[in-house]
Structure 1
Amino acid sequence: MNVLKRAKAPTPKFFRVLRTIGLSLAGIGGTILAAPIALPVVISSIGGYLAVAGGVLSVVSQITTYNEDAYDSP
């Protein structure tokens, strides 16, 4: 199964929840990075890490699929 088919395939409920959490983290991180005021370096670094972690979590959760063949055979 290639990446495009995996992205379009149904995602298990647990990974849908993780995807939503990842998108939220990425949004929070992006908001911190795009703040119109000068923030301390530590907070800007945390924003960058949140954005990257949220993006990775969202992508991995989206391409996770339920493989029925693995659970049907004894």
Structure 2
Amino acid sequence: MTIIERAKAPTPKFFKVLRTIGFSLAAAGGALLAAPISLPAGIIALGGYLTVGGAVLTAVSQVTVEDGTKPARKDG
């Protein structure tokens, strides 16, 4: 399965939620980096980490697909 096929395949609900959280983190980090006022170096570094972390979370969540198989139930 290619990356493009994976990106177009259905995404499980849990990973859709994670993808949305990743978008939000990346947007918050971008807002900190693009702030029109002077911010302390720690806040700028935090903005960079939020942007990268959000982008990675979004990318991984987007290419996670359902395989269509259900695990066998084990009744104790």
Provide, for residues 15-52 of structure 1, a one-character-per-residue CA deviation record: whole Å limited to 9, x for no partner: 00000000000000000000000100000000000000
Aligned to 2:62: 62
- Structure 2 gaps of 5+ residues are none
Q: Which residue of 1 aligns with 2:36?
A: 36
Scaled by the length of structure 2, the TM-score of the pair is 0.90
| Counterpart in the other structure of 1:15 | 15
What RMSD, in angstroms, separates the aligned Cα atoms of the two structures?
Answer: 1.5
Q: What 5-or-longer segments of structure 1 have no aligned partner? A: none
CA distance in 2: counterparts of 1:72 and 1:52, whole angstroms: 34
TM-score by length of 1: 0.93
Query: Which protein is richer in helix relative to its size?
Result: 1
Identity over aligned pairs, percent: 58
Give the number of the structure whose alpha-carbon radius of gyration is greater. 2
**Aligned length in residues:** 73
Secondary structure of 2:20's counterpart equals helix
Runs of 4+ in 1 over 6 A off after TM superposition: none
